[in-house]
Amino acid sequence: MVGGGQLARMTYQAAIALGLTVRVLSDRADDSAARVGAEVEIGSPDEIEALRRFAAGCDVLTFDHELVPPQHLAALRDAGHTLYPGADTMALAQNKRRQRQELGALGLPVPAFSTVSSESDLLSFGEAHGWPARPVVAKAVRGGYDGRGVWLLEDVPAAQRLWAEVTARGVELIVEAWVPIEKELAALVVRRPSGETAVYPSVETVQVAGICREVLAPASIPPDLADETCGLARRIAEAIGLVGVMAVELFVVREDEQATGSSGRLVLNELATRPHNSGHFSIEGCVTSQFENHVRAVLDWPLGDVSLAAPAAVMVNVLGGPPGNDPQAELARALADPVVKVHLYGKDARPGRKLGHVTVLGQDLEDARARARRAAAILMGEG
């Protein structure tokens, strides 16, 4: 597994139960997976020679992030190494412009968008699709996560300031129409090389300042919308030749900006071709977790059942709290609720950093949510 973060750590845990040997290429010895892995190689995924040395000892390469340069992925593929997801699939996941262009060409519901090559491109789009009635959204073509690399532009001066900033940094942009979001959803899909595909129940994700704070399963949406969400995820997985787990992030938008209640119209947001924060609930919340199914998929083994293990499952992220706060020190108090499951990632604490998550299963979604929130608050030094 290329990357030593918490996704690699939880995939490693799933692989242990299957008797597998997992090697990890990690930037640093104190990365989340490197702290627990038996076979860890320290090296940068940005360096082709480090990747070549690592790949030489592996049957299959998979990834816990989309940051490996696409030219390195292509070089590994051309040298005969097995990469899942493949180099082309990973290149798509790295590039928001390609996602919009290729998914839109398939007739899938993407927002109105445009590539940006100049300040005038940005201003023309804003005047045609936003200002003064509503903002437009600019996004970095590559990189960016947890709210970074996304800018809400309210007017011409904001767009001009952003253009000056990104030009100085060499950041490529796309710009999209703002949409009135009713809910944010994620559909997790897993596919193996032979074509067998499974889609997890759709979940609602709750974002605060661009960071996922909660995941609610199942999503409180009408059955036909849930079916459409899962259908979109399956269609995209087949179209891009996915192998492994992919998260499809979507918006439920209101047709009438002044209306209340879901109109049921879906708009695609982004793809992540790896295990994803929106699927962490599946460790306890589903018959087979996203991490185990990712391992099964990249080895072309039969996929496990993705059904929910309880009527309701809620995950709440544990973020770094005030300086000096250590979630480990509060673990016993958080575990006083017997239904609480805590996962800490072994990461050094700093404010706002994802340090772990809490999952609660139950019969009632709101009760599970309250208990998960309470445990997470304790771990974050807030309660």
pLDDT in tens, 170-203: 899 999 999 999 999 999 999 999 999 999 999 9
The predicted model gives 191-216 an average pLDDT of 95
pLDDT band at 53 (very low <50, low <70, confident <90, very high): very high
User: pLDDT tens across 344-374, in order?
Assistant: 999 988 888 899 999 999 999 999 999 999 9
Is residue 340 predicted with pLDDT exceeding 90? yes
Q: Where are the domains of the chain?
A: 6-83, 112-177, 181-379
Is residue 145 predicted with pLDDT exceeding 70? no
CATH class of the domain defined by 6-83: alpha beta
The predicted model gives 279-297 an average pLDDT of 98
The pLDDT, as a whole number, for residue 257 is 57
The pLDDT, as a whole number, for residue 147 is 60
The pLDDT, as a whole number, for residue 256 is 64
Tokens of 116: 């940006």
User: pLDDT tens across 59-88, in order?
Assistant: 999 999 988 999 999 999 999 999 999 999
d(CA 242, CA 273): 8
Q: Is 13 exposed, middle or buried (0-12, 13-18, 19+ CB in 10 A)?
A: middle
pLDDT band at 148 (very low <50, low <70, confident <90, very high): confident
Tokens of 20: 């597998």
- The DSSP bridge partners found for residue 83 are 61
The predicted model gives 306-327 an average pLDDT of 92
Indicate the CATH number for domain 112-177.
Answer: 3.30.1490.20
pTM: 0.94
The predicted model gives 154-158 an average pLDDT of 96
Which has the closest alpha carbon to 343: 296, 289, 270?
289
Q: The dihedral of CA 337, 342, 346, 349: what is its sign?
A: negative
Phi, psi of 211 (to 5 degrees): -110, 135
Superfamily of domain 181-379 in the CATH hierarchy: ATP-grasp fold, B domain (3.30.470.20)
Residue-averaged pLDDT of the chain: 93
